[in-house]
């Protein structure tokens, strides 16, 4: 997959040289390119922003540098062009799965007050936020999206970290995890997990995951309701 990011701070993306995303790049699963918006400035002073019409504090990114930066990328028709903005739709696992179906992606990082609305109208296909808080720029949000999308591509995770067993691929939180030692500061590993009965272990995990989801994230159950099988699992327990 090739991902082009339009940004004023390409150096920030060095964070994606590490860990699993770094390996994905070295293995050829990800071709990540940061496009410096300032290379498309409107004058020799490197200007890319300007005052907001109507008069409000803060600068707005001018449309011409953004348009020229996008034109330089030469992405095929149908490629998602994603504007990172707190005004966007909240990014979630289904969106990551949708983006992972493409082999190109363009991410546009906003700065200052934001982008001129006409760039959004003419060039942007998706507006995405990563949550209800405000970042100083879209870069950290773009990195989150690159990570969440690329790990879904076949071959990026080994069998060990397979994405199909992710809690959110089932739209639920994860279950509690234990490793050695068997007793830590007076707390023991649950008996079921040591028993070797795989059906029982599976039922325990799914029940614990559901209990957590019910308690911490009831909104997930509104979005993706309990299945009849999940209802049965919960009834057995209580």
Residues that bind ligand 6GU (CB under 6 A): 84-86, 110, 129-131, 133-135, 137-138, 141
Burial class (CB in 10 A: 0-12, 13-18, 19+), 6: buried
Query: Does an H or E element contain 235, and which?
Result: helix 228-237
Nearer to ligand 6GU, 80 or 110 (CB): 110
Nearer to ligand 6GU, 140 or 189 (CB): 140
Q: Cβ of residue 148: shortest distance to ligand 6GU, in angstroms?
A: 13
Nearer to ligand 6GU, 130 or 150 (CB): 130
Alpha-carbon span 205 to 199, nearest angstrom: 10
Q: Cβ of residue 219: shortest distance to ligand 6GU, in angstroms?
A: 17
Q: Cβ of residue 135: shortest distance to ligand 6GU, in angstroms?
A: 3
Distances 191 to 203, 204, 216, 234, 236 between C-alpha atoms, Å: 13, 11, 24, 19, 18
Q: Cβ of residue 144: shortest distance to ligand 6GU, in angstroms?
A: 8
Alpha-carbon span 101 to 152, nearest angstrom: 9
Q: Cβ of residue 90: shortest distance to ligand 6GU, in angstroms?
A: 8
Q: Are 107 and 145 in contact (CB under 8 A)?
A: yes
Nearer to ligand 6GU, 131 or 195 (CB): 131
Nearer to ligand 6GU, 134 or 177 (CB): 134
Nearer to ligand 6GU, 65 or 114 (CB): 114
Alpha-carbon span 90 to 128, nearest angstrom: 6
Q: Cβ of residue 34: shortest distance to ligand 6GU, in angstroms?
A: 16
Is the alpha carbon torsion for 79, 20, 144, 67 positive or negative? negative
Nearer to ligand 6GU, 119 or 209 (CB): 119
Alpha-carbon span 202 to 207, nearest angstrom: 9
Q: Cβ of residue 87: shortest distance to ligand 6GU, in angstroms?
A: 9
- Total Cβ atoms within 10 A of residue 212: 16
Question: Shortest CA distance to 194 belongs to which of 212, 180, 213, 208?
Answer: 180
Determine the 3-state secondary structure of 92 from DSSP.
coil
């Amino acid at each position: 997959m090739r991902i082009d990011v339009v940004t004023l701070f390409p150096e920030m993306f060095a964070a994606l040289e590490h860990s699993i995303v770094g390996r994905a790049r070295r293995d050829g699963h990800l071709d990540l390119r940061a496009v410096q918006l300032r290379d498309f400035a409107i004058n020799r002073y490197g200007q890319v922003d300007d005052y907001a019409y109507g008069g409000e504090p803060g600068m707005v990114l001018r449309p011409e540098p953004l348009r020229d930066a996008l034109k330089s990328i030469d992405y095929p028709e149908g490629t998602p062009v994603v504007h990172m903005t707190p005004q966007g739709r909240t990014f979630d696992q289904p969106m990551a799965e949708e983006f992972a179906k493409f082999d190109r992606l363009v991410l546009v990082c906003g700065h200052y007050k934001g982008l001129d609305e006409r760039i959004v109208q003419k060039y942007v296909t998706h507006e995405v936020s990563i949550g209800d808080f405000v970042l100083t720029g879209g870069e950290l949000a773009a990195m989150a999206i690159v990570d969440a999308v690329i790990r879904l591509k076949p071959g990026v995770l080994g069998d060990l970290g397979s994405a199909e067993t992710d809690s959110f691929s089932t739209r639920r939180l994860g279950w509690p995890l234990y490793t050695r030692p068997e007793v830590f500061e007076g707390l023991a590993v649950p008996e079921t997990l040591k028993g070797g009965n795989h059906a029982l272990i599976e039922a325990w995990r799914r029940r614990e995951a559901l209990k957590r989801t019910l308690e911490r994230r009831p909104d997930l159950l509104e979005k993706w309701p309990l299945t009849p099988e999940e209802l049965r699992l919960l009834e057995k327990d209580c």
